[in-house]
Amino acid sequence: MNSWHRIVVKVGTSTIVNRDGQINYPVVNRLAQTLSSLQKSGHEILLVTSGAIGVALDQMNLEKRPQEIPQQQALAAIGQGYLMSLYNQSFAFYQQLIGQVLLTYDVFDNKAMLENTMNAIEMMFSQHIIPIVNENDVIAVDELDHQHSFGDNDRLAAIVTREIGADGLIILSDVDALYTANPNIDEFAQAIDKVTKITDDIRMSATGSTSGLGTGGMSTKLAAGEFVMKNGGKMVLINGNNPALILEVIAGKTVGTLFQGE
């Protein structure tokens, strides 16, 4: 089934913030335009966004992410508000309402919290509002210490995709596709159109982030793809620099890398 009615879109720090560390305002605006037009044409859209810390680094004129967890948490607190103000401004231009949902992983292990969260998200869908999800970094240390490969927004987006019964997940990053090797390091790396199974070869091709701002690199995206496929869904990885590519994905065109079981 190639329907894309209920869609989770995940955008990485590497898309929200340029390589030189500055907030990429045009891309946030183009993303808001694309998602608003999809919502208006009857799709149900949920956006998982990274970038709270990346945005705060720019606000605070810091060149790189500090190592200390409390400093990262403070940055997340500063940046999350600003990130939402960017989205509010951009979506408002397209007359699209949004709602902020901050999650921690324990929500998925707690029946009552999960039910409350899902009720709120379903209510937003029924009111044509786009929920915007990020991990609640201020209280979720597991993500920020990078010790747990599952504690990242790629994985969070994959879990949300399953929990809300979405048709698929679209991941926006700073690469055009999954490559046979990190394309920023290996000039001979080839883009891969379709993955039906995460093999050892594919796993070995994926390394961490070299952008300096993103956290998980390709490894966490593969883990997300594997999770989505195991749950019978599909995931597409595309370049976030051109959010209009989302429309091509939904139209069934071959763009980026499709992760879908056979």
Ligand X SMILES: N[C@@H](CCC(=O)OP(=O)(O)O)C(=O)O
Ligand Y SMILES: Nc1ncnc2c1ncn2[C@@H]1O[C@H](COP(=O)(O)OP(=O)(O)O)[C@@H](O)[C@H]1O
Residue ranges that bind ligand Y, judged by CB under 6 A = 12-15, 50, 173-175, 178-179, 181-184, 205-207, 209-211, 214-218
Is 36 flagged in the annotation as binding?
Answer: no
* Smallest separation, CB 169 to ligand Y (Å): 13
Q: Is 18 in the site for ligand X (CB under 6 A)?
A: no
Ramachandran category for residue 212: left, alpha or beta (phi over 0 → left; psi -120 to 50 → alpha): left
* Residue 6 CA: distances (Å) to CA of 38, 41, 125, 191: 10, 12, 9, 27
Is 126 flagged in the annotation as binding?
Answer: no
Out of ligand Y, ligand X, none, which partner does residue 174 contact, by CB within 5 to 8 A per kind? ligand Y
Nearer to ligand X, 37 or 219 (CB): 219
Residue 140 corresponds to which amino acid? A
CB atoms within 10 A of CB 52: 27
Nearer to ligand Y, 49 or 104 (CB): 49
Residue 211 corresponds to which amino acid? S
| Cβ contact 64:75 at 8 Å | no
The two structure tokens encoding residue 238: 């595309």
Nearer to ligand X, 143 or 167 (CB): 143
Residue 112 corresponds to which amino acid? A
The two structure tokens encoding residue 83: 């990130």
* Smallest separation, CB 40 to ligand X (Å): 27
Out of ligand Y, ligand X, none, which partner does residue 228 contact, by CB within 5 to 8 A per kind? none
The two structure tokens encoding residue 32: 């808001």
Nearer to ligand X, 51 or 243 (CB): 51
> Measured at CB, which residue is nearest to ligand Y?
12
| Cβ contact 79:135 at 8 Å | no
Is 261 flagged in the annotation as binding?
Answer: no
Q: Is 135 in the site for ligand X (CB under 6 A)?
A: yes
Ramachandran category for residue 179: left, alpha or beta (phi over 0 → left; psi -120 to 50 → alpha): beta
Site for ligand X in 197-216 (CB under 6 A): 214-216
| Cβ contact 138:52 at 8 Å | no
Q: Is 31 in the site for ligand X (CB under 6 A)?
A: no
Is 218 flagged in the annotation as binding?
Answer: yes
Contact set with ligand X (CB under 6 A)? 12-14, 50-54, 76, 134-135, 137, 143, 152-153, 214-216
Question: Binding site membership for ATP: which residues?
Answer: 10, 173-174, 215-221
